A and B are shown apart, each in its own frame.
Chain A
Amino acid sequence: MNEILQGLAQAFWLIVSLDTELITISLRSLYVTLTALLVSTIIAFPLAALIVVTRFRFRRFVITILNALMGLPPVVVGLLVYILFSRSGPLGVLGLLYTTSAMIIAQAIIITPLITSVAHQSMQGLWADYRDLLISINTSKPQRIGTLMWDSRRALITACLAGFGRGIGEVGAIMIVGGNIDNATRVLTTAISLETSRGDFSLALALGFVLISLALSVSFATHWFGKTERGGLW
């Protein structure tokens, strides 16, 4: 209990004193996860909409695989990305291992199936309502995809938040591919892991509280700008 209180106090102090290291680590965490999220949404939203509006042979199989990939173990993803980008790996020549780029790639791989699945689920319901109308209006496939994405945008924000939550709290993959290098690839989760192994629980807790505040702030900001849960809106 004492450690939690100490952690809270330390977190408060770190924040009000604008601790440079804390700010750098927090910004790096945000940078890595938000970039991974951006990459994921660019892939996931159109992919989910395409699966919704297209009937093809292995559609159910693809959806099942996507749902299964939601539970992709981050450590395994980290290991695969590590092997891919290690010096002797097929993409080793790019020299991305132990950089934030590798961390972004790993996180994007982890959260893309999650965002695709959630987006698919929400657009599927909308497509059931819209299908006949959009076919009747003689829309093209890209127009259908665009309409579905636009009209389910608030549900897609939720998909983004789920992806962000999974990304920002992720430690296994980015530890492997980023290496937790001070001033280069250290982010909040890897720093917490390090401080815990060092036995500095109050600092680890302080970082944890900062991480939680960060996730909450992003969620509040998204709802605020997305105008969700207000009268007459979805």
Chain B
Amino acid sequence: MFPLEVSSVEINIKGKRILGPINLLLKQEGISVLLGANGSGKTTLLETLHGLRKLSKGKVRWSIPNKLAAKEQSFVFQTPVMLRRSVLENLMYPLRVRRFSKPNAIKEAMHWVKKIGLEKKIIQQATLLSGGEMQAVAVARALITKPKMLFLDEPTASLDGLAKKTIEDILVLAAKNDTKIIMSTHDLGQAKRLADDIIYLHKGLMESHCLKDEFLNSPPSDAAKQFIAGDIII
């Protein structure tokens, strides 16, 4: 499936370019973190790579046909989308869609419920969970199919320390188990903890894609320098 090759991708809305042109090569290993201020195009880029956005220009190419690649991907949205079902049924859903038998889906879902520490809430309606719990369910639901590629759009944006750590631990483990992760965040601390490489976006353009240390030690642009210093970027 890898490498993922993005060439001259542009997204225009009503004639206005909101992303691109982007050229990017992603290999299978590790966690890539997308950094950038609000409106820099992080979400749009993630959605574009995942196939949720129609390309205005350019190509997104996997080493296997896109239809097959789509089955190997999962996406966690910034605001978790919970099905109006129980926690267990939410986790079972992607497996049932892939024609897993009900007992197998339940077994796998139970395994993940324990991993995210929601054993006592399996029959609770998922929409009634707290924000952190919902996001944990969303991450577990995304990983339950053992995807080769996992996209996360600011998955811990509104979470407290403990909830953040639960999710980060799961992500680190998933990355070790051969799931390529690409996530966006504003949180530089999180990027330092998790990233192998960093993609920096500014006003819809990719300013750099390099290893974490390289990015932190010699920021590629003034905007990146300001971002690392914690200044307000306008």
Could you list which residues of chain A lie within 8 angstroms of chain B, going by C-beta atoms?
A: 126, 129-130, 132-133, 135-139, 143, 147, 151-152, 232-234
The answer for the CA separation of A229 and B141 in the assembled complex, in Å, is 28
B contacts with A, residue count (CB < 8 A): 18
B71–A138 CB distance below 8 A:
yes
Q: Which of A130, A139, A151, A233 contacts B97 (CB 8 A)?
A: A139
Q: Is B77 an interface residue (CB 8 A)?
A: yes
A133 touches B77 (CB 8 A): yes
Quote the shortest CB–CB distance from A167 to chain B (angstroms): 28
Interface string of B61-88 (1 = CB under 8 A from A): 0000000001101110100010111000
A26 CA to B178 CA, complexed, in Å? 66
- The answer to whether B83 and A151 touch across the interface, beta carbons within 8 angstroms, is yes
> How near does chain B come to A152, taking the closest CB pair, in angstroms?
8
B123's nearest neighbour on chain A, judged by CB, is: A232
Does the CB pair A130–B83 fall under 8 Å? yes
> Does the CB pair A147–B83 fall under 8 Å?
yes
Candidate in A137, A143, A232, A233 with the most chain B CB atoms within 10 angstroms: A137
A interface secondary structure, majority? helix
- A sample of 7 cross-chain residue pairs with beta-carbon separation below 8 angstroms, ordered by A number, consists of A126-B84, A136-B73, A137-B93, A137-B94, A137-B97, A151-B83, A232-B125
Q: Provide the residues of chain A in CB contact with B81, threshold 8 Å.
A: 129-130, 132-133
Q: Quick one: which of B74, B83, B124 has the most chain A CB within 10 A?
A: B83
Cα A151 to Cα B81 in complex, Å, equals 13
Q: Enumerate chain B residues within 8 angstroms of A133, measured Cβ to Cβ.
A: 77, 81, 83
- Chain A, Cβ-Cβ closest to B71: A138
Contact indicator B128/A232 (Cβ below 8 Å): yes
Q: Determine whether the beta carbon of A136 is less than 8 Å from that of B85.
A: no
8 residue pairs, one from A and one from B, having the closest CB atoms? A136-B75, A133-B81, A151-B84, A137-B94, A138-B70, A232-B125, A139-B97, A138-B71
Please give me the residue from chain A that is nearest to B72 by CB atom: A138
**Which residues of chain B come closer than 8 Å to A136, judged between CB atoms?**
50, 52, 73-75
CB distance from B8 to the nearest CB of A (A): 24
